[in-house]
Structure 1
Amino acid sequence: MAGTRSTGRRERLRAETTAEIKRTALELMGSGGPDAITLRAIAREMGMTANAIYGYFATRDDLVTVLIADVYTALADAVDAAWTTSAQAAPAERIRAWAHAFRNWALANPEGFRLIYGDPVPGYRAPDGGAAPDAARRVCIGIAALADTAWGDAEQAYGDSDFDWADFDPGLLDKVRPAFPALPPAGVALALRIWGHLHGLVSLEIYGHLHAQTLSPQKLFHAELTQLVRSLNVDDSNRV
Structure 2
Amino acid sequence: MTAGGIRDRFRAQMRQEVKDAALRQLAEGGPQALSINAIAKELGVSGPALYRYFAGRDELLTELILDAYADLTSAVSAAPRRMPDLAAAYRAWAIANPHRYRLLFGAPLPGYDAHDERLVAAAREAMDVLFAFAGPGREPEPPLAEALRAWAGGVDPAVALHAVTAWSRLHGFVSLEIEGNFLSMGLDPGPLFAAEVEALK
Structure 1 residues 169 and 187: CA distance shift in structure 2, 3 A: closer
1:72 touches 1:132 (CA, 8 Å); kept in 2?
no
Ranked by relative contact order (alpha carbons within 8 Å, sequence separation 6 or more), the top structure is 1
Matched, 1:25 2:5: no
**Partner of residue 63, structure 1:** 60
> Aligned partner of 2:98: which letter?
P
Distance 2:75 2:148 in 1: 27
Name the SS of the counterpart of 1:72 in structure 2: helix
Q: Which has the larger radius of gyration?
A: 1
Distance 1:128 1:119 in 2: 15
1:210 touches 1:217 (CA, 8 Å); kept in 2?
yes
Percent identity at matched positions?
A: 40
Task: Report the alpha carbon displacement of residue 167 of structure 1 after superposing the two structures with TM.
Answer: 3.9
Equivalent in 36, 44, 49 of residue 47 of structure 1:
44
Distance 2:68 2:197 in 1: 25
Q: Deviations over 1:134-156 (max 9, x none)?
A: x32221112223332xx2xx5xx
Task: Report the alpha carbon displacement of residue 17 of structure 1 after superposing the two structures with TM.
Answer: 2.3
Matched, 1:117 2:105: yes
Moved over 6 A (4+): none
1:30 touches 1:111 (CA, 8 Å); kept in 2?
yes
2:83 touches 2:134 (CA, 8 Å); kept in 1?
no
Equivalent in 142, 151, 156 of residue 129 of structure 2:
142
Matched, 1:104 2:83: no
Higher mean Cα deviation, 15-24 or 112-121? 15-24
Name the SS of the counterpart of 2:182 in structure 1: coil
TM-score (structure 2 length as normaliser): 0.86
Structural mapping, 1:142-221, within 5 Å: 142-148=129-135, 151=136, 154=137, 158-159=138-139, 161-164=140-143, 165-168=145-148, 170=150, 172-174=151-153, 177=154, 180=155, 183=156, 185-214=157-186, 216-221=188-193
> Aligned partner of 1:202: which letter?
V
Distance 1:97 1:186 in 2: 21
Distance 2:100 2:117 in 1: 20
Q: Deviations over 1:44-74 (max 9, x none)?
A: 2323210121121121111111111111011
- Unpaired runs of 5+ residues, structure 1, are 88-93, 230-240
1:163 touches 1:186 (CA, 8 Å); kept in 2?
no
Aligned residues: 200
Distance 2:117 2:3 in 1: 38
Distance 1:142 1:214 in 2: 34
